[in-house]
A and B are shown apart, each in its own frame.
Chain A
Amino acid sequence: MTQIYLQDSDKTRNNSPFRGKILRRLKFYLIPGYRVPEFTEMEYEIGKIKSKRKLFRRFLTPLTILGFMLILFIVVLGVYAPWLSLYPLQEITPPNYPGTLEFQPPSPGHPLGTTKFGYDLLSRLIWGARTIIQAAFIPVFISISGGVILGTISAYFGSWVDTLIMRFCDVMFAIPTLVLVIIVAPLIGRDLYTILIIYGLLYIPYNIRFMRSLVLQVKQNIYVRAAVTGGADKVRVMFKHIFPNAFSPIIISFFGGMGLTVLGLAGLAFIGMGDPSVADWGTDIIYAKTVLLNSPGAALWPGLFIGIAVIGFMLIGDGLRDALDPRLHI
């Protein structure tokens, strides 16, 4: 109904003799600063598209595209692992011990040679891509969402809540986090997901502090105060007004954190805290530690793949930073 009503009114206005094209053109030529409303609207739309395009252009630098390609490579490996690898996952993980020799040089049956227990290195690398994607995503998601919730609450409520949360952060900062992961993870189990979740939980304090500083900045803005004055309840102000305006730094730190998390988890696996029952690149490196000089490939290929994943995430994070929020330093 409303639609029809609007159209009718438009028609009547356009039909009137004094509002024709000529009058408008005259006005346009004679009155300086006069703007045709339709044209202004169109201009505004074009400007919007242009700014979007500009953002996209700024984002798509050669380095960022390289980062995307690296990550795409890892994702393709993970998705098409059953078709790409020579051996199924069951044959290259510990309950199964094939009879082949350990640490063999490359051969037609094993294009990159074999690693400990005679597993095929290439197949382990390809299946490891699935592990690394999970390892990048789950801990960062947990730590950032926990940090967002607690950090926003801490900065918004202030007073004793803030003090309590910040003192908690102080205590957690005083302990080397990686060592804490090593101590806590075996308590619950050495399953891959357990390690990932614990890793995410223990890195929450870093994100709390980060989010808190962001929210304290956004909180000063007038629209937040207007919302409070207008009687919006606290949860609404926090997650409808403050959170979206602190969103781009979160996205940036998400990608930056993914790279660091992959590194940290690879390190854990290297110390020997990884889940031995999955194909993991960090575990491959520690397998090859004792025969480093005789078969260097067994240690170098997995490290190279970890590097590819980490550099991909870092490049995307840098590109996002340059495009969205150049003032942010992570």
Chain B
Amino acid sequence: MGQAKNMVYYIIKRIMIMFPILIIVLIITFILSRFMDIFPVIRSVGFNLDPNELRRLIELEEQRMGYDLPIFQQLGIYLMNFFTGNWGNSYTVDKGTPVIEFIIGVFPKTIELMIIPIIIVPIIAVKLGVVSAKNKDKSKDNVIRFVAILGAGFPVFFIGNLLQIFIGRTIYFFTYGEFDMDIMWSNALSFDMNGRYYTGFRLIDSILNNNQVFLMDSLIHLILPAVCMSIVSLASITRLTRSTMLDVLDQDFIRTARAKGVPEREVINRHALRNALIPTSNLIVGGTAGAILGSLFIETVFDYLGFGYYFVRSVFLADYLLINGFLVFSSIVIISGTLIADVLYTIIDPRIVYT
């Protein structure tokens, strides 16, 4: 009972610490983003031959947006608005859309892409790591290590390009089939749903609208990026599981368990795996938080219009408020991810006690 009570206090304490961290993150990113050398106002004003006219237009636009105020005044206004739930409007990426609405619209797409890698990959990867450690220096181990190092060593976008070139080109179903080829490459919204968006998840919405063409199209587009994501995270988790597992299998209590006559399967699954999972769980949860935020590279390679894609885009177009919104959102996800990892530790290893 005491442990559970401590746990609750610990979680509450961590959540309380979260707020000052978020505010500091906000302040840092706000100031940093204002110093970027990209100036969004020029883009929205457009091109004008007369320099005086252009200058006047820019000044007008600055006054309208409040960019001419001192930076700390802007920061104060932004913070005040932020905590009343008004995160501002997007300025260059998608003009006029409130930031919160934009994030809510974009986020389900990334979840849709990452949900399968997040759920399936850790299970397979831990299994592969265990198999690899069990047959150390045999052919099975060598094959798994070889594949894992290829997955971890090559850049994500290179693997994505490979998949696009070889699978996308050779297998007709993916590209030249019933569907327009361009939709495969750019995960664009050229197919319209012809219906209402209920949840923002395209798969669920198309089922609700009974639009089978759209469902099929979305599914096919999800396959290659999801495979790419899986390969990359599979490689790193497998490598870590193998090395921790080898370390644990060397220790005395494993030898004791074997000497006692515990069957080998029990030794691996109950005695060894639990100890090996402690460092691995950190990577799994961290990788999950990263995946939820959408791997920037995967979304850029496949032109998948998700969280990571718009994150990069907002930085390049200097959409100040959108950058801040994205960063705060991802900070929340990351911090809660580490909190979940810390709680998971106590479940995996009951010796760890937080006070």
Interface residues of chain A, those whose CB is within 8 Å of chain B, are 170-171, 173-176, 178-180, 182-184, 186-187, 259, 263, 266-267, 270-272, 282, 285, 292-293, 296, 299-300, 303-304, 306-307, 310-311, 314-315, 321, 326-327, 329
Contact = CB atoms under 8 A, between A and B. Distances in A.
A144 B323 CA distance: 29
A329 B279 contact: yes
B99 interface: no
Most chain A C-beta atoms within 10 Å of own C-beta, residue among B158, B240, B311: B158
Nearest to A311: B153
B21 A272 contact: no
B36 interface: yes
A297 to B, nearest CB: 10
Contacts of A314: 149, 152-153
A326 B244 CA distance: 9
Given A175-B331, A303-B154, 6 more contacts: A176-B330, A179-B311, A184-B32, A267-B156, A293-B169, A300-B161
A296 B165 contact: yes
A174 B315 contact: no
A313 to B, nearest CB: 9
6 contacts: A171-B21, A171-B28, A183-B315, A187-B32, A304-B158, A311-B153
Contact of B37 (A179, A187, A299, A311): A187
Interface of B: 17, 21-22, 24-25, 28-29, 32-33, 35-38, 149-150, 152-158, 161-162, 164-165, 168-169, 240, 243-244, 246-247, 250, 279, 290, 293, 296-297, 300, 311-312, 315-316, 323, 327, 330-331, 334-335, 338
A300 B163 CA distance: 11
A165 B158 CA distance: 37
A17 to B, nearest CB: 55
A78 B307 CA distance: 38
Contact of A173 (B162, B293, B323, B334): B334
Given A171-B28, A174-B21, A285 B334 contact: no
Contacts of A187: 32, 35-37
B156 A311 contact: no
A182 B312 contact: yes
A168 B76 CA distance: 22
A68 to B, nearest CB: 15
A314 B146 CA distance: 12
Contact of B158 (A174, A186, A303): A303
A314 B25 CA distance: 33
B155 A183 contact: no
Contacts of B36: 183, 186-187
